[in-house]
Structure 1
């Protein structure tokens, strides 16, 4: 009996690569076979159209796209021609694309394998903070992760400063916000926002930098009243074990006035001014320090002090000024001349002030005297009305004021 052994070779081609990619991403393809293809070559097709022909020749890998030797980051060939690698840049709009790897095996013909790749279009993730770096130690910082995409299911995961947060959203524009305390121990750590869109995962991250400077809490302005006390309090906040305060510095208009020693109690320095005066007006600077990695780091903050006068003394001065002003007004506003009269005569001259219209105001009259003595009421002063008795007006012999002027004495008429 004759036995005939027939050898059958099973040929297959296998293509592998990412099945989801973002527009503009590089898709890494690997096409392999179990037997050496004709010419040790393969052909890459995109949506059934030929894209790149890669061939191994004399141990060197060539590409039709580059027109020569393959760049190692673009295409590769195995030494026996059993597998080929290619990096394809997906510049397609969102949707599915078909990628095919085809090889020819002589009389057995062409064999191929195809994969489908989902192309996504979106923007982000963009990771930002509401504060600039380095962050202030112990401050509360907001981290925001923004994504703009088509309407697909999206998952966001945070790995940021010791905490993990997960959220699920269906949105075209989405922003995930978390808040964290920037403890000094988080310095140089990473904060990551991990976004999953239909199985496509992308990450945005930032490196955390935290300031080692001491944080000072101090009011911007303080006021006090003369002769009363005032207290300035400066507080330091940090996680470092070694810290302290230097002397307070008093300035006025930028000029150094004096150095003052505050009372230190833990992380607080207090400056007490027992009796405020105008000489205490100005700015007071608190200086704090801490030690980190063998060095000393300083920080300072300034408060402005305003000194006011006592309100009581101001009110007394105002009252005194008002009384004096009223007295001057009364003295300058009256126009009545009061004199003492000794004798009464029938022929008199009335000198009346501008306000003496009431019969209750006494009127004084001038009369002739036997003594030739000039009197101060012989001439009418400016601002007063001269009233002449009717009996004098009927006497034609009196033609001028000189006839009236004579030696007189005065008597008050009731």
Structure 2
């Protein structure tokens, strides 16, 4: 089995002419050294700056390093007369705290048998609380059509396939499709794992058992990124009224990585890559919406080591937009006029009678004087009984749909 220590792991695979020892790191920042089963250093790579520089102690063997994948591969020419390859191989990344070992079992003869190779793949970065889809696959048939998954060297689950279906766990319960899957060939399996870390690195390993080779494994690192959102909010509740001006906000929070935040909405694009003191990235826009914007999409996208987005469909109706003063003052016995102005995309406009309320209790209805798109309510002589809330209600008929809207103004009576 492969053992993972720190953020480094190791596996082996056999080809017709060579043995390959692959040492994987979450991120290569130190030197990498490979040791054979006798504890002898056989190859190493220096610090990978400005570029990888590697050396093999045996000329016909080779060592390569790929910074983008974090993988260092030592290739041993498969000549059993010169090399005793079986045993525990080890790789060290930097200090001894990040090292891993693997037991190699090379058959003396292969005949026509295809050497098995295990590959574990998945996303390199995920968000917190996001499910990770891990695919473990082999190029040949394992002995029992099964795979074992481990996290941090701790057993997590087994997945197996037979003629009855796909099963998981020691009790071989049926595998829920949102947790695990088996491919029909019995060589490929998927595990869905929930990333419960707020941030950090998860190490995974999958293993299969093969005739003449025993257990072979591959490992994989997933970085959990602490990004919240993105989200879109409006300063007005849906549905929006055609003709109204709304403020739209796109926001995300990232504590570990810089983000480019982009919002594409109402044929306008705004973006930023700067955060505030709370690690929040925010972009805003104020736009007048029209009925033609109904059911168009607003998209907020956060791009970093991972890209995540949020979208919302605009809901816009041809409802009246009302404009009134919040408070109107009238001296006792003086006259006053209350007004309610309607705007927006109107097709067939109308006003309901004004409603007079006091502390939420209905007092009376009063008919206003309508001139164009304005309803006026006149009070000839203000009295204390006129104090209270006056509700203006207008409607607009758009085809068969009638939209109503209300807005209030408060009348305050002043004494002399």
TM-score for the superposition, normalised by structure 2: 0.57
In the alignment, the residues of structure 2 paired with residue 102 and residue 68 of structure 1 have an alpha-carbon distance, to the nearest angstrom, of: 20
In the alignment, the residues of structure 2 paired with residue 258 and residue 94 of structure 1 have an alpha-carbon distance, to the nearest angstrom, of: 62
Q: How does 1:231-242 map to 2 (within 5 A)?
A: 234-242=340-348
In the alignment, the residues of structure 2 paired with residue 61 and residue 247 of structure 1 have an alpha-carbon distance, to the nearest angstrom, of: 68
Does the aligned pair in 1 maintain the 2:167–2:175 contact within 8 Å? yes
Alignment partner of 1:21 is 2:126: yes
Does the aligned pair in 1 maintain the 2:261–2:303 contact within 8 Å? yes
Alignment partner of 1:112 is 2:217: yes
Stretch deviating more after TM superposition (11-20 or 182-191): 182-191
In the alignment, the residues of structure 2 paired with residue 98 and residue 257 of structure 1 have an alpha-carbon distance, to the nearest angstrom, of: 71
Query: How far did residue 86 of structure 1 move?
Result: 1.4
In the alignment, the residues of structure 2 paired with residue 82 and residue 159 of structure 1 have an alpha-carbon distance, to the nearest angstrom, of: 43
2:234 corresponding residue in structure 1: 129
Alignment partner of 1:166 is 2:295: no
In the alignment, the residues of structure 2 paired with residue 96 and residue 129 of structure 1 have an alpha-carbon distance, to the nearest angstrom, of: 36
1:46/1:277 Cα in 2 relative to 1: closer, same or farther (>3 Å)? closer
In the alignment, the residues of structure 2 paired with residue 233 and residue 101 of structure 1 have an alpha-carbon distance, to the nearest angstrom, of: 73
Larger Rg: 1
2:286 corresponding residue in structure 1: 180
1:194 corresponding residue in structure 2: 301
Paired residue for 1:37, among 124, 128, 142?
142
Paired residue for 2:402, among 296, 309, 314?
296
How far does the alpha carbon of each residue in 1:226-267 deviate from its partner, in whole angstroms, 9 at most, with x for none?
9x998765431011333245788999998769756x4634x3
Query: How far did residue 291 of structure 1 move?
Result: 0.8
Query: How far did residue 223 of structure 1 move?
Result: 5.9
1:75 corresponding residue in structure 2: 180
Paired residue for 1:221, among 328, 336, 350?
328
1:173/1:66 Cα in 2 relative to 1: closer, same or farther (>3 Å)? farther
What is the total number of aligned residue pairs between the two structures?
A: 297
2:76 corresponding residue in structure 1: none
Structure richer in helix, relative to its length:
1
1:325 corresponding residue in structure 2: none
How far does the alpha carbon of each residue in 1:77-114 deviate from its partner, in whole angstroms, 9 at most, with x for none?
23331211211222345223332222222113443332
Query: How far did residue 76 of structure 1 move?
Result: 1.9
1:65/1:190 Cα in 2 relative to 1: closer, same or farther (>3 Å)? farther
Does the aligned pair in 2 maintain the 1:138–1:181 contact within 8 Å? no
1:151 corresponding residue in structure 2: 256
The Cα RMSD (Å) is 4.1
Q: Which of 1 and 2 has higher RCO (CA within 8 Å, sep 6+)?
A: 2
Stretch deviating more after TM superposition (213-222 or 174-183): 213-222
In the alignment, the residues of structure 2 paired with residue 170 and residue 19 of structure 1 have an alpha-carbon distance, to the nearest angstrom, of: 24
What's the secondary structure of 1:62's corresponding residue? strand
In the alignment, the residues of structure 1 paired with residue 212 and residue 254 of structure 2 have an alpha-carbon distance, to the nearest angstrom, of: 49
Stretch deviating more after TM superposition (91-100 or 154-163): 91-100
What's the secondary structure of 1:102's corresponding residue? strand
What's the secondary structure of 1:153's corresponding residue? coil
